[in-house]
Structure 1
């Protein structure tokens, strides 16, 4: 998993509430078990019409937001089914940070496991960032995980909270497998001891 320390990028505004995982990545794209290639179908039903033409009004189709790396969203982001493809699609598109007043629990946990930083903020702070994000190509925001701050285009700074263990994992690029490999010496020692104690196994 790629480390997350700080990110300076375009923030895209998506003020809708209850954006569920089927909106993030519709069910017909869940056949793959690969984490790559899903970005083109992120928000598929909102991005394309029935003939697969881009819908110009959708925020991520606008020239200023095509390379957005930060999403400022409405309440209860990631609700619905527990599909891990949702953070995969966000990450494959290039989104590394999602800011909202609340997230669905499973989606929130899946973000951390895939290198995405979900940030929960009070409504007034989300409103400020939403206003910043509506500046188009000038909506440049810096998210610093080490200091737990978000700095807007005018220099205003917002602090956010994050669980210490999850912060450690993101800063060091540790997913569940990476965490296990951190204990490789202990695992090897256990296997040697187990083999000696039960050589018939």
Structure 2
């Protein structure tokens, strides 16, 4: 069965064939520095409770996380950086494949992103996503989860050469982004699974999400 990890590996093969080694080295060094930093010690972990929040979705409808958590047995929250990221697109496409299974488990999938609502609306329509994309303006919620970081000048320069305009995407005057973060929350707002990685090329495998929920259901019988 195809996996998200395999999809990312296939993309990286093409990326490495097309992109100059100097550019690849710059991006790899930036990942290494982020991995070696201690700026994510405050990231929410299993056992922590998530904060209550309200954000508007891609259609500018206000979504209160309280309503989602209390309506479902499980809530899956996935932070991604924007539709400009090929890794994020691969992740979202993979997540769409488990939406129907999540419904069987009485679980809801919510994604959060700092990019503007018009971009998220286009993204959802283009790929026929059936989950909401909440507008995390100024990365307010990713900061509360402790998974926010700022792009280095070297990476910004690379992105600009690749015509990736973070300032235009987020329109908040910063180069702040969320790390890839996936959380499974129960009805008590408690995190029962957490995935955060300083390497933006690594993403939570959707099967891990469904397997975690299955296991939790079985343990509660």
* TM-score (norm. length: structure 1): 0.25
Higher normalized helix content (fraction of residues): 2
* TM-score (norm. length: structure 2): 0.24
